[in-house]
Chains A and B, each alone.
Chain A
Amino acid sequence: MRRRPELSFSPPDPTISDEHGELSCITCGDVAVEARVVALDRGNALVELSGRREKVAVDLVEGVAVGDVVLCHAGVALEKLESPPRELESDGR
C-alpha cells in the first residue's frame, strides 16, 4: 500500500526521504505547507492534507474558519490563502 505523504510542517530528519525519494527538510527554512482546516478549538485548528491530520495554532491568523486553507510552518498557521488551489477542494489524492 502506498504510504501517505507526511505533512511537511512536521519536519522529518533531513536524512529521511519522502515517498518520492526526495530529501525534505522543512524544519526552519523558508518553507511552509498549505492545509485545510477541518476543526477549530480555542486558538488551535485541526488541519488536514492528503488524509493526514495535525494540530496547528491559528492565533496569528484572523478569522480562520473550518474549510479555510492555511499556510503552516513549525506548528503555526501563518496566513490564510485567499483562493485555495483547486486540488485542495477535493478530498486529497
Chain B
Amino acid sequence: MRFVDEYRSGKVARELSHQIEKLLEPGREYKLMEVCGGHTHTIYKHGVENLLPPGVDLIHGPGCPVCVIPMGRVDDAIAIAERDRVIFTTFGDMMRVPGGNGCLLEAKARGADVRMVYSPLDALRIARENPDREVVFFAIGFETTTPSTALTLLRARAEGIRNFFVFANHVTIIPAIRAILDSPDLRLDGFIGPGHVSTVIGTGPYRFIARDHGKPLVVAGFEPLDVLQAAFMVMLQLAEGRCEVENQYSRVVREGGNPRALEAIAETMELRSTFEWRGLGFISQSALKLREEFGDWDAEVRYDIPGVRVADPKACQCGEVLKGVIKPWECKVFGTACTPEKPIGTCMVSSEGACAAYYNYGRFSRRLETLTT
C-alpha cells in the first residue's frame, strides 16, 4: 500500500529486530516505557512487541489524555453540560468516559445539549452561530492539543465572541514523566518519547531525564518502524553506556519545538498549582488553566463547578496500568466487566488507552504467536 509501505516494511523490521537482539546483555531484563498512547496503539496494532527479543519489555506510559482525566472532572463537565442554555462540546472519546454520575453520552440522553466536535474551532463556530446560547468546550489533551485551544481563545478574543467558554483540563507531559521516575515501584531502563507532543515542546525539556536520572530517551514517530527504530536507538545507548535525548522523528520534530504554538499557549494559559491525574494522584504544576486575562472565556470562572473528588471504582486498576506496574490484561476486570463497549476505567475508553489497545489487538497477536511457535 502506498503512503505507508516505507514505514512498515517487514524486511526492515526483521533486520532491526535482529540488531536489537545483538545488543542484549545476557541475562539482563530491559524495560522501556513508551510514554505516549499513540505509540501504545501502534505497538499493539502492528505487533511491534512480538518483534522485540525476549528480555525487552515495553511498559505503557500515561500519555493517553483521556485516560488520565479523573472521574471528578467528568462530573464537573456533566454539571456544566446540564445547565440551561449551555451547548457542551467535546471530543468524541470523552463522551463515554465514566464519571461518578455516568458519562456525557448519558447526560445527552437525559436531554443535555452535548455535541461532538473535531476541533475547538468548531466549538467556536457553534458559538458564533448560536449567540443566544453559551457554548462550552471541554478542553483536554497534552501539548499536541493545547495549541488548538490556545489559538481558539485568541480568535474568540479577536472576534469579540463572548458566549464561548473553555473548561480547561490540559495537562503537560514532563511532570507526569517526572512522577513516574520518582515512583518507587517501577524500574525503567529508557523511554520512547512522544512524537507530536515534541513537535510543540521540542526535545530540550526531556534533557533532565538523561542528565538527572541517567535514562536514555528517543523521541519517536508513529509508524511501526519508527517505534522499532526508537527501541533500537534506546538499546544502542544502553549497550554503549550512553544516556542522551535523541530524535528519531526528525522529519517533523525540531529541537526547539514550535515557538508560535508555545507563545499562543503562554499567552492564554498558565500552570495550575496542582492537578489530579487518574492513577498518578495530584501532581504539582502539571496542568494548565486560563490566564486571568481570559477570565471572560473561562468556564471555571463563569460557572459554579462542583469540584468533588471521586475515587476510582475499587475493581479498576487503571492507576497501576498507567504507571506500567501491571499489564492491562492483569487487571481483574479486563475484558470481562470492563470492555470498550462498557468501560469501567478510562484506559478502556480511548483506543489510545493501553487496555483498549490490548483488548483490540493484543489477543490477536498472542494467538498469532501461538500459531507460529
Contact B92 A27 (CB under 8 A): yes
Question: Which of chain A's residues 1-55 have a Cβ closer than 8 Å to chain B?
Answer: 9-15, 22-25, 27-32, 50
The answer to whether A30 and B142 touch (CB under 8 A), given A25-B93, A59-B260, is yes
Output the least CB separation between A31 and chain B (Å): 4
- A71 touches which one: B63, B64, B196, B349 (CB < 8 A)? B196
- Chain A contact residues: helix, strand, loop or mixed: loop
Chain A residue with minimal CB distance to B195?
A30
Contact A23 B148 (CB under 8 A): no
Contact A78 B261 (CB under 8 A): yes
Chain A: interface size category: 35 or more
Total B residues in contact with A, Cβ cutoff 8 Å:
58
Chain A residue with minimal CB distance to B3?
A87
**What is the bound-complex CA distance between A30 and B66, given in angstroms?**
11
Q: Which residues does chain B contribute within 8 Å of A31, judged by CB atoms?
A: 38, 41, 144, 196, 222, 352
- B38 touches which one: A30, A50, A78 (CB < 8 A)? A30
- A32 touches which one: B120, B199, B341 (CB < 8 A)? B199
Contact B351 A23 (CB under 8 A): yes
Q: How would residues 137 to 152 of chain B score, 1 for a CB under 8 Å from any chain A CB and 0 otherwise?
A: 0001110110110010
Which of the listed residues A9, A28, A85 has the most CB atoms from chain B within 10 Å of its own CB? A28
Contact B119 A76 (CB under 8 A): yes
Question: Which of chain A's residues 46-93 have a Cβ closer than 8 Å to chain B?
Answer: 50, 57, 59-62, 71, 73-76, 78-79, 81-83, 85-88, 90, 93
Question: Which of chain B's residues 354-370 have a Cβ closer than 8 Å to chain A?
Answer: 356, 360
Question: Could you count the A-B residue pairs with CB atoms below 8 Å apart for me: how many are there?
Answer: 152
The answer to whether A22 and B64 touch (CB under 8 A), given A30-B142, A30-B144, is no
Which of the listed residues B38, B140, B148 has the most CB atoms from chain A within 10 Å of its own CB? B148
Q: Is B70 an interface residue (CB 8 A)?
A: no
Chain A residue with minimal CB distance to B264?
A60
The answer to whether A93 and B2 touch (CB under 8 A), given A15-B340, A24-B351, is yes
Contact B121 A73 (CB under 8 A): no
- B252 touches which one: A60, A76, A79 (CB < 8 A)? A79
The answer to whether A73 and B196 touch (CB under 8 A), given A29-B65, A30-B38, A59-B260, is yes
The 10 A-B pairs at the shortest CB distance, nearest first, are namely A75-B119, A29-B352, A27-B91, A25-B351, A76-B148, A28-B141, A74-B148, A87-B3, A30-B36, A30-B38
Binding site for B on A (CB under 8 A): 9-15, 22-25, 27-32, 50, 57, 59-62, 71, 73-76, 78-79, 81-83, 85-88, 90, 93
| A-B contacts, 12 listed (Cβ < 8 Å) | A11-B91, A11-B118, A14-B92, A14-B350, A23-B356, A28-B144, A31-B352, A73-B148, A75-B121, A76-B151, A79-B253, A81-B252
